[in-house]
Amino acid sequence: MRMGRPRRRMGFRCARRLVPLPCGSGAGRLRHRIRDPNGFSRRPDDSFVVAGLNDGHKYQIATDGRARTPLESIDGVPLGSVNYACAAGPGRICSSVMTRHLPWVAALRSSTPDDYVVHLDTVEARAQIAADRLDFTNEIKVSPEDRYRHAAETLDCRIVGFPVRPEGPLGANDCADPRSLGWGSLPDGIIFDAVGNVWVAITRQNPLSSSGWG
Protein backbone atom coordinates (compact mmCIF):
# COMPACT_ATOMS: atom_id res chain seq x y z
CA MET A 1 0.00 0.00 0.00
CA ARG A 2 1.49 3.32 -1.05
CA MET A 3 1.75 5.93 1.63
CA GLY A 4 0.33 9.40 1.07
CA ARG A 5 2.83 11.98 -0.09
CA PRO A 6 3.77 14.33 2.77
CA ARG A 7 2.73 17.85 1.82
CA ARG A 8 4.11 19.81 4.74
CA ARG A 9 6.39 22.58 3.60
CA MET A 10 10.01 21.64 4.18
CA GLY A 11 13.13 23.76 4.28
CA PHE A 12 16.50 22.57 3.00
CA ARG A 13 19.98 23.98 2.95
CA CYS A 14 22.42 22.87 0.26
CA ALA A 15 26.19 22.98 0.36
CA ARG A 16 27.46 24.68 -2.77
CA ARG A 17 30.90 23.17 -3.08
CA LEU A 18 32.82 19.96 -2.55
CA VAL A 19 35.45 20.36 0.14
CA PRO A 20 38.59 18.22 -0.26
CA LEU A 21 39.79 16.83 3.05
CA PRO A 22 43.50 17.05 4.00
CA CYS A 23 45.47 13.95 3.05
CA GLY A 24 49.20 13.53 3.53
CA SER A 25 51.09 16.78 3.19
CA GLY A 26 48.17 18.90 1.98
CA ALA A 27 44.64 19.09 0.65
CA GLY A 28 43.80 18.66 -3.04
CA ARG A 29 42.20 21.38 -5.11
CA LEU A 30 39.06 20.79 -7.13
CA ARG A 31 38.82 22.75 -10.36
CA HIS A 32 35.15 22.71 -11.22
CA ARG A 33 32.02 24.82 -11.08
CA ILE A 34 29.31 22.35 -10.10
CA ARG A 35 26.18 24.09 -8.92
CA ASP A 36 24.95 22.47 -5.69
CA PRO A 37 26.90 19.18 -5.84
CA ASN A 38 24.99 16.41 -4.10
CA GLY A 39 25.46 12.62 -3.98
CA PHE A 40 28.79 11.30 -5.20
CA SER A 41 30.82 8.08 -5.27
CA ARG A 42 34.31 6.94 -6.25
CA ARG A 43 34.99 4.96 -9.42
CA PRO A 44 37.62 2.18 -9.73
CA ASP A 45 40.03 4.65 -11.41
CA ASP A 46 39.78 6.93 -8.30
CA SER A 47 37.78 9.58 -10.14
CA PHE A 48 34.47 10.70 -8.63
CA VAL A 49 31.02 10.90 -10.17
CA VAL A 50 28.91 13.72 -8.75
CA ALA A 51 25.25 14.71 -9.10
CA GLY A 52 24.51 18.33 -9.95
CA LEU A 53 21.35 18.85 -7.95
CA ASN A 54 20.21 22.16 -9.44
CA ASP A 55 21.82 22.21 -12.87
CA GLY A 56 20.59 18.85 -14.15
CA HIS A 57 24.02 17.44 -15.01
CA LYS A 58 26.08 14.44 -14.03
CA TYR A 59 29.79 15.14 -13.51
CA GLN A 60 33.02 13.20 -13.34
CA ILE A 61 35.95 14.67 -11.42
CA ALA A 62 39.38 13.27 -12.30
CA THR A 63 42.18 12.75 -9.80
CA ASP A 64 43.75 16.06 -10.87
CA GLY A 65 40.53 17.90 -9.93
CA ARG A 66 39.35 18.58 -13.46
CA ALA A 67 35.66 17.98 -14.15
CA ARG A 68 33.74 16.98 -17.24
CA THR A 69 30.07 16.28 -17.94
CA PRO A 70 29.48 12.72 -19.21
CA LEU A 71 25.70 13.14 -19.21
CA GLU A 72 23.27 16.08 -19.21
CA SER A 73 20.35 14.81 -21.31
CA ILE A 74 18.69 11.66 -22.70
CA ASP A 75 17.40 11.77 -26.27
CA GLY A 76 17.77 15.54 -26.17
CA VAL A 77 15.66 15.93 -23.01
CA PRO A 78 17.40 17.48 -19.95
CA LEU A 79 17.88 15.04 -17.07
CA GLY A 80 16.15 17.07 -14.35
CA SER A 81 17.36 17.18 -10.75
CA VAL A 82 20.10 14.57 -10.40
CA ASN A 83 20.25 13.50 -6.76
CA TYR A 84 22.88 10.77 -6.55
CA ALA A 85 25.56 9.34 -8.86
CA CYS A 86 26.62 5.79 -8.05
CA ALA A 87 29.67 4.11 -9.61
CA ALA A 88 28.34 0.67 -10.54
CA GLY A 89 31.50 -0.86 -11.99
CA PRO A 90 34.38 0.12 -14.28
CA GLY A 91 32.14 1.20 -17.15
CA ARG A 92 28.79 1.91 -15.49
CA ILE A 93 27.26 4.80 -13.60
CA CYS A 94 23.80 4.51 -12.08
CA SER A 95 22.05 7.71 -11.02
CA SER A 96 18.81 8.74 -9.38
CA VAL A 97 16.91 11.70 -10.78
CA MET A 98 14.44 12.76 -8.09
CA THR A 99 12.30 14.87 -10.43
CA ARG A 100 12.25 16.06 -14.02
CA HIS A 101 11.54 19.56 -12.65
CA LEU A 102 14.12 22.27 -12.09
CA PRO A 103 14.19 23.64 -9.51
CA TRP A 104 13.42 20.38 -7.70
CA VAL A 105 11.23 21.94 -5.00
CA ALA A 106 8.37 22.04 -7.53
CA ALA A 107 8.09 18.25 -7.13
CA LEU A 108 7.07 18.67 -3.49
CA ARG A 109 3.87 20.36 -4.65
CA SER A 110 3.04 17.77 -7.30
CA SER A 111 0.84 14.71 -6.78
CA THR A 112 2.38 12.89 -9.75
CA PRO A 113 5.76 11.17 -9.24
CA ASP A 114 8.07 11.85 -12.19
CA ASP A 115 11.51 10.67 -11.15
CA TYR A 116 13.59 7.83 -12.53
CA VAL A 117 16.84 5.86 -12.49
CA VAL A 118 19.27 6.25 -15.37
CA HIS A 119 22.10 3.94 -16.37
CA LEU A 120 25.12 5.28 -18.24
CA ASP A 121 27.46 2.92 -20.05
CA THR A 122 30.67 4.94 -20.27
CA VAL A 123 32.33 2.41 -22.58
CA GLU A 124 29.61 2.54 -25.24
CA ALA A 125 28.62 6.13 -24.37
CA ARG A 126 24.98 5.05 -24.06
CA ALA A 127 22.39 6.15 -21.49
CA GLN A 128 18.92 4.78 -20.84
CA ILE A 129 16.13 5.11 -18.30
CA ALA A 130 16.27 1.90 -16.27
CA ALA A 131 13.31 2.51 -13.92
CA ASP A 132 10.63 5.19 -14.06
CA ARG A 133 7.81 6.88 -12.08
CA LEU A 134 9.32 6.60 -8.63
CA ASP A 135 8.45 8.95 -5.80
CA PHE A 136 11.30 11.40 -5.19
CA THR A 137 14.18 8.94 -5.44
CA ASN A 138 17.08 9.86 -3.22
CA GLU A 139 20.28 7.87 -2.71
CA ILE A 140 20.80 4.77 -4.85
CA LYS A 141 23.28 1.97 -4.19
CA VAL A 142 24.54 -1.27 -5.73
CA SER A 143 23.91 -4.46 -3.72
CA PRO A 144 27.02 -6.32 -2.49
CA GLU A 145 26.56 -9.07 -5.11
CA ASP A 146 25.73 -6.54 -7.86
CA ARG A 147 22.32 -8.19 -8.33
CA TYR A 148 20.14 -5.23 -7.34
CA ARG A 149 19.97 -1.47 -7.46
CA HIS A 150 18.49 -0.19 -4.19
CA ALA A 151 17.05 3.27 -3.72
CA ALA A 152 15.46 5.40 -1.02
CA GLU A 153 12.04 6.41 -2.34
CA THR A 154 11.71 9.44 -0.10
CA LEU A 155 8.11 10.60 -0.55
CA ASP A 156 6.78 7.03 -0.53
CA CYS A 157 8.69 6.42 2.73
CA ARG A 158 10.27 3.13 1.70
CA ILE A 159 13.36 1.39 0.31
CA VAL A 160 12.97 -0.27 -3.07
CA GLY A 161 15.14 -2.60 -5.13
CA PHE A 162 15.35 -3.50 -8.79
CA PRO A 163 16.90 -6.74 -10.09
CA VAL A 164 19.73 -6.11 -12.55
CA ARG A 165 19.23 -7.53 -16.03
CA PRO A 166 22.03 -8.14 -18.55
CA GLU A 167 20.43 -5.76 -21.05
CA GLY A 168 17.76 -3.10 -20.99
CA PRO A 169 15.78 -1.71 -18.04
CA LEU A 170 15.94 -3.00 -14.50
CA GLY A 171 13.54 -5.70 -13.31
CA ALA A 172 10.26 -5.18 -11.47
CA ASN A 173 10.26 -2.95 -8.40
CA ASP A 174 10.60 -4.86 -5.13
CA CYS A 175 10.42 -3.46 -1.61
CA ALA A 176 12.49 -4.15 1.50
CA ASP A 177 10.90 -5.14 4.78
CA PRO A 178 9.29 -3.26 6.36
CA ARG A 179 7.13 -2.26 3.40
CA SER A 180 6.90 1.25 4.80
CA LEU A 181 9.13 3.17 7.17
CA GLY A 182 6.13 5.17 8.39
CA TRP A 183 4.31 8.24 7.11
CA GLY A 184 6.56 11.28 7.01
CA SER A 185 9.78 9.34 7.70
CA LEU A 186 11.37 10.59 4.44
CA PRO A 187 14.28 8.12 4.03
CA ASP A 188 17.38 9.75 2.59
CA GLY A 189 20.75 7.98 2.52
CA ILE A 190 21.24 4.20 2.44
CA ILE A 191 24.24 1.89 2.75
CA PHE A 192 24.92 -1.84 3.09
CA ASP A 193 26.85 -3.38 5.96
CA ALA A 194 29.15 -6.41 5.78
CA VAL A 195 26.32 -8.95 6.16
CA GLY A 196 23.94 -7.35 3.67
CA ASN A 197 21.66 -5.30 5.91
CA VAL A 198 20.47 -1.96 4.56
CA TRP A 199 21.05 1.04 6.86
CA VAL A 200 18.80 4.02 6.28
CA ALA A 201 19.05 7.66 7.38
CA ILE A 202 15.56 8.92 8.35
CA THR A 203 15.59 12.70 7.89
CA ARG A 204 12.43 13.69 9.75
CA GLN A 205 12.96 11.50 12.81
CA ASN A 206 16.79 11.66 13.09
CA PRO A 207 17.47 7.95 13.62
CA LEU A 208 19.38 5.27 11.72
CA SER A 209 17.41 2.16 10.84
CA SER A 210 18.54 -1.20 9.47
CA SER A 211 16.63 -3.89 7.64
CA GLY A 212 17.34 -7.17 5.94
CA TRP A 213 16.41 -7.45 2.28
CA GLY A 214 13.53 -9.80 1.67
Percent of the chain clearing pLDDT 70 (strictly above): 77
What is the distance between the alpha carbons of residues 74 and 65, in angstroms, rounded to a whole number? 26
Beta-sheet pairing, 77-78 with 67-71: unpaired
- What is the three-class DSSP state of 83? strand
Confidence bin at 86 (pLDDT 50/70/90)? very high
Residue 142 pLDDT > 60: yes
| pLDDT at site 177 | 64
Exposed (0-12), middle (13-18) or buried (19+): which is 148, by Cβ within 10 Å? buried
Exposed (0-12), middle (13-18) or buried (19+): which is 189, by Cβ within 10 Å? middle
What is the distance between the alpha carbons of residues 171 and 19, in angstroms, rounded to a whole number? 37
Residue 41 pLDDT > 90: yes
Bridge partners (DSSP) of residue 86 are: 94
Q: Mean pLDDT check: name the lowest of 21-30, 43-52, 115-124.
A: 21-30
Phi, psi of 155 (to 5 degrees): -75, -10
Residue 208 pLDDT > 70: no
**Distances 214 to 101, 146, 149, 211 between C-alpha atoms, Å:** 33, 16, 14, 9
- Asked if residue 142 lies in contact with residue 86, where contact means CB atoms within 8 angstroms, the answer is yes
Higher pLDDT among residues 206 and 154, named by residue = 154
Q: What is the pTM of this model?
A: 0.76
- Asked if residue 102 lies in contact with residue 95, where contact means CB atoms within 8 angstroms, the answer is no
Element (H, E) at 37: strand 37-42
Q: What is the CATH number of domain 83-211?
A: 2.120.10.30
Residue 118 pLDDT > 70: yes
**Average pLDDT rounded to a whole number, residues 141-166:** 86
**Average pLDDT rounded to a whole number, residues 78-83:** 92
Residue 168 pLDDT > 80: no
